Amino acid sequence: MDIQNILLVILKLAGALAIFLFAMKLMSEGLQKYAGSRLRHILTKVTGKPLSGILAGTGVTAIIQSSTATTVMTVGFAGAGLLTLGGAIAVVMGANIGTTVTAWIITLFGLGGGGGEEKVPLMPMIIAAISLFFIFSKKNKMQYLGQTIIGLALLILGLGLMGDSVPPLDENVAHSIASLGQWGYWSVLLFIVVGAILCIILQTSSAMTAVILLMASQGWIDFPTSMALVIGQNLGTTLTAQVVAMTTGTTGKRTARAHLVFNVAGAILFLIPFYPICNGVMAISEQLDHLLPTIPLIPLAITVFHTLFNVVTTIILAFLIPQIEKIVTWMVPDKKEDGEEEFRLTYLEPNLLSTAELNLQSAKSEIEEFSKRVLRMYTFLPGLRTANKDEEFNSIMERIAKYEGITDRMEMEISKFLTKVGSGDISEHGSERISTMLRIIDNLESIGDTIYQIAMTRQTKREDAVHFDAGLNANLSHMSELVQNALNVMDSNLHDYDHVDLDAAYAAEHEINAYRDRLRAQHLDALKLGVYDYAIGNAYSSLYALYEKLGDYVINVSEAIDSSRKHADD
């Protein structure tokens, strides 16, 4: 084969692969948008029992056709406290099982059925024709379903084009490949490494699965070599999770390490009895081949092995989740608290997921982190009143100023991220959630600003030697407690948009307003009676007014969440 023909084959393969990858993306995005918030509900219902996490991970990944997306959502939930580390590990295990659905789709629809030369073009055309019943619907859900069906049609078309692009196996090439498999276990290890590298290059296990199946169906590789490539693929796909985890907190990193531990343990389990397993899988596949005669035996056996690898590994390691927790905790130890006052985004990473819908879960987790920062900032205020030495007072002021800068930057970065997500292909419900989140972060940043204003008022009071008596201090202390309660309610509502406790939020806001009115009435009477001078009165009224203003921003957050929930229910 001359250089020109080689280049032509490479271009044809690259084009077919591009169609396949686009089809996977189209199908995955359609499924994710069609499933909507149900995906989040499934994962948040995970209990401490491994089975619930495994089933949730399997189901969600089978639905959205992306184990990476499932892993990222899991990291977000774990970081937000909605999942324990053990629960997150179970979900990741289930995601590995769910990703085998892709192999079955390719094997059943892309490599089997039809018969004859028209097998490849006829099947995707029929499937694409079915989408006509959905894509012109006025309902968004039906349009998303149509997008998914078209994605499936293109996937099969791309797979067929990839198969047609693979040239007949040259005798010399066949001999060279065969010679690489004559070194026993060393050959197995070699192809495991090759599989891992190819999966890292392709950046998708689905494409790697398709390549392995096609190479096997065209006779380029035998079954043992295919098994080794599958094991390598499972190892290579863990790199994505490791890269994602670089920008996350401790729990996210531990979850990613658990993904690596799971696949490495599975590789070891299957590598030791490699050839007996090879014979056993082939025997099972020969029995299945009688039921599925249109599917080539070797690709069917590869799919069976891919499923067996993940299911058996999950069954064995599910009993060892506590031990895996200890291993990943050792691999990623707890960080010291000295980093808490440094600006960082924990969950947001541009282009992390293939769909805007699931990026919103990362944004939600980041907003929850934003809320924690604001609540932490608020706890510094009492120290300004009790500080005796200027060094202590100035140290607290510096911390509050630093947090105020962090809140400004978090608001800006999250807003940029949400704007970018909103510019993509997103559902009506997703667009509404973005509007809600933008309102929330705007009010969280305003809360941070108001806390800083309270601190600055305290500083001015101290510099001017203005002193409150015990009664005024007690009044402001009680007002501070009422605002703290409102902040706690707000933070709780931010964790679950679908069950916002608006009554508790309004009750907390009413208490703040009522007490503000009481203090204002007492203040006006005190000024008339000359109980304290103007400087004291001015500082005092400024402080309780700022606390009340802070409460207004707090209730705005819960109202924004409730508004989003009502739109979702319509």
**Residue 41 pLDDT:** 62
The answer to whether the predicted template modeling score (pTM) of the entire model surpasses 0.85 is no
Helix, strand, coil content of the chain in percent (nearest 5): 80, 0, 20
Helical (H) or strand (E) element with 526: helix 502-529
**Distance between CA atoms of 29 and 440, rounded to whole angstroms?**
26
Portion of the chain with pLDDT greater than 70, in percent:
78
For range 161-176, the mean pLDDT: 57
Section 326-333 average pLDDT? 88
| pLDDT tens digits for range 424-462 | 767 777 788 889 999 999 999 999 999 999 999 999 999
pLDDT band at 180 (very low <50, low <70, confident <90, very high): low
Give the tens place of pLDDT for each residue, 528-569.
888 888 889 999 999 999 999 999 999 999 998 877 655 444
299: confidence class by pLDDT, cuts 50, 70, 90? confident
H or E element in which residue 480 lies: helix 470-494
Burial (Cβ within 10 Å: 0-12, 13-18, ≥19) of residue 108: middle
Mean pLDDT of 179-208: 76
User: What Å distances lie between residue 246 and 93, 242, 323, 406, CA to CA?
Assistant: 20, 6, 23, 20
Put residue 248 in one of left, alpha, beta given phi > 0 → left and psi -120 to 50 → alpha: beta
Q: What is the DSSP letter of 37?
A: T
Could you list the beta-strand ranges (E) of 47-155: none
The DSSP call for residue 136 is T
In this prediction, residues 247-275 reach a mean pLDDT of 83
Rounded to whole angstroms, the Cα distance separating 334 from 249 reads 10
Buried b (16+ CB within 10 A) or exposed e, 418-440: beebbeeebbebbebbbebbbbb
Angle between helix 140-165 and helix 3-35 axes, rounded to 10 deg: 160
Q: What is the pLDDT of residue 316?
A: 92
> What is the model's pLDDT at position 569?
46
Q: Which of 197-206, 227-236, 393-402 has the highest mean pLDDT?
A: 393-402
pLDDT per residue over 487-536, tens digit each?
999 999 888 777 788 899 999 999 999 999 999 999 999 888 888 888 89
Summarize the confidence of residues 214-232 as an average pLDDT.
Answer: 83
Domains defined for the chain, CATH in brackets: 3-331 (no CATH), 356-569 (1.20.58.220)
Residue for token pair 């607290």: 396
Q: How far apart are CA 292 and CA 176, in angstroms?
A: 32
What number is the average pLDDT over the span 254-281? 88
Q: pLDDT tens, 471-488?
A: 999 999 999 999 999 999
Q: Which of 142-156, 217-231, 347-361 has the lowest mean pLDDT?
A: 347-361
